[in-house]
Structure 1
Amino acid sequence: MTLSRLVRFAPSYLMVTIRREWQLAILVLGGLAPGVAVLLAWLNLARIVSRQTVVVDPRLHPGWLLPPFLLERLGLAGVLVGAGVVTLLVGCLGLANVYLASVERRMPELALLRGLGMPRSEVMTLLLLEAGLAGLLGSGAGLVGGVLLSVLSWPAARAYFDIPAGFSLDPVAFVTTLVTGMLAAMLFMGMSAVATLSIGAAGVLRGETPRLLPRSWREVETAVYGTLFAAFLVLTAGWLVLSPASMLVLLGLTVGLSTVLTGGGWLLTRLYERLPAPPQSPLWQLALQGLARHPRHTAGLSLAMIAGSYAVGLSLLSLLRGGADGSFPVWVAGGVLVAGGGLVLTAAALAALERRREFGLLVAVGARPSRVRRMVFLEYGIVAVGGGVLGALLALGNWIMAGAGDWPAALLIIVVDLLAALLSAWGGAIPVLWRISRWSAGEALRR
């Protein structure tokens, strides 16, 4: 297919994808847009503060859950850019696995294009165009939200950092955030799909199932690419604001966090498969089998739970650390809180939506809808507890590094964080399960 024919074919392909994969819009609005909004708000503030003649020391202000030596090396701009990048990273890591699960489900269709003569490079171009369109949607919505967040948080930021200048929207911050958001979509969605999938035309013509990379390699590759992409986000967002020393420290922190989150998601997926399944507990067995049959969904949901629980725990502990005088850290923590909670709800809903045919088939063969609901709630409960515990422990690690006290209140927040992870996971699945419960056996078979 020539370039001109690809140009004619791409709009039709994208329109079909938009109609059939409308849930991807929810994915980018729930995963990418909040991170872009937070990044714009804090990057814009960092640009404003950097023009001040008086240097603001973040160690003199409460609410930052980092040890003093890191705060000294990061500086205020590093703390603000880091808060934005981490919020964006949390959303991107969660949406990457959920998006890849969607691409894997559509592999036969993509492989058919290869069988009909479309070169591999052009099939991959279609995936990149799909990711670019998603990036435009998520970044556009995020920029609007970022401007709103900047305006609303400005009085608290101005009082907190004693900024004499008035509010302004820095064009450099706006353009940098747009580029970073688009880059995040292209890397975590487009390049991840291109790098991890293999489509052979000859195999399709012989009727073979499209080949995926071995699972163990997919796990390693996902973690490696996630770490590299996180580094690109830091370099893109901070190169006009941060000093080389601050950039290096923030790069190390972000890469380390990305490695822990991505690796933790796959390790928990392996752990769930090894949980005991006694024969006298058939519902437990079905739940574990469901998690094992869909490792990409399980890993994506686990990563979302880890990242969401970490974000929620970190934000609540930051509020506790900041106290009554920490009005601006309330805004920073609130941004992370919204991004983390939205990610968990979105990932849970999309994971259930991707498996709606499987759930409908169970209803069609005679399973009671209430039993299907209990099975799904048990699956999500297992993932929420595992991911919630790991994410809460990461947030508690920040609390320890910052040398904060008030342990009873901190431990209470961790318990609340775990309960929030469980309730948000169940809440995300409820709309899909409610719809399935209304299907008759015949309707479930037709669907």
Structure 2
Amino acid sequence: MNFPYGIPMTFASLGLIEPLLRALEALGYQTPTPVQTQAIPPVLAGRDLMAAAQTGTGKTAGFALPLLQRLTMEGPKVAPNSIRALVLAPTRELADQVHESIRQYAEHLPLSTYAAYGGVSINPQMMKLRKGVDVLVATPGRLLDLYRQKAIRFSQLQTLILDEADRMLDLGFAEELRGIYAVLPKQRQTLLFSATFSDEIRLLAAQMLNDPLTIEVSPRNVAASSVKQWVVTVDKKRKADLFIHLMKKHRWGQVLVFAKTRVGVDQLVDRLQGLGLNADGIHGDKPQATRQRALDRFKSNEVKILVATDVAARGLDIDDLPTVVNLDLPIVAEDYIHRIGRTGRAGQTGEAISLVCADEVELLSAIEVLTRQTLERKEEPDFEPEHRVPSTDASGQILKKPKKPKKPKVSSSKRNLGKWVDSGESEPTPAVKPVRKVPVFNTGPRKKKP
């Protein structure tokens, strides 16, 4: 297939099958990103691929869509305790994110997907794998644990994907990757995605890939200069309280709020309506007619606060929206650009405020790398987080918070002395315990040894 790389086109023109196109339409995807445009055709053709693509470039769809199509069109049904495709991710959080995306893309396909990682019991994961799984997303350590427990076999493996391979090496997974490589079938397709091509990544690719096609894609990372952006750090459980406080403090007129989940949307809307505020919510579980009605009421300024998920808000276009609030940071960094791009339009200024908790520091770091800026941080009085958010910067470095200095141990007598000195009272009379008489043995003259 002759493929004009870099030229915008449709997902249909990339050769994707109808069930995938339906899933993409439901998700609101319209035009492929550059990495999708360059990756999908060669992956469909069975080529190995080495791609330099950062978070926010659409790389997950770039490998997941052609992978799902190949599994649907080729190969036998998955056998017990077997997998047909393996996606390795460096962290539990990324494994969850990638699996959720793959699950959405496979909505209309007869394929099973699952995510396995450490930090939770291995037994339910072993049970899930008994019937076999078409696509397994896993962290390297847990995958090896499952293999050693004989819960997984690789004889049916068709495709291996290394997602964020550079982070896997940074986190010290080189030995685990070598162990996994040793037990995988030699005949397979391998895709490697990394933010950069370091010497270590090139060496890893030389060992694991066969004549790969190499692509390099830069993210679309331009945020409007008319949008003032800042972060307010807060504990997760107090985000809704902080939003309500900020809304009243700054007297926001109309505000679009983004939440990560459908449950999160419903909970915040219920809370706001319970306070008598004019709020509505949209997400994928609501009928299209209901969502459209809420969008229309928000556009006409009948609704002052609209809470939405990323997918549900696609197509929302308001020229004079003053404020966007990220109750939760987006899983995909590029969605941050889409979110805040809904304010500061048509010559107007806007503001984008993100309420960030400690669990979201990696998402915040990815956004700062994508936008090439360190976002201004603030703390709101009475909402200072107990769990501090580590420092981040535009280089992607996450600086762990400094450990609190340990207080020197003070004996109970010194503590009591300190209390007496501070109190200004007269010196306390020490309690004297009676000394118990100790029996004495062998007090007579010593006998001479014979």
Judge same fold: TM > 0.5, yes or no: no
Q: Which has the larger radius of gyration?
A: 2
TM-score, with structure 2 as normaliser: 0.21
| Greater relative contact order, per chain length (Cα 8 Å cut-off, separation 6+) | 1
More strand by percentage: 2
TM-score, with structure 1 as normaliser: 0.21
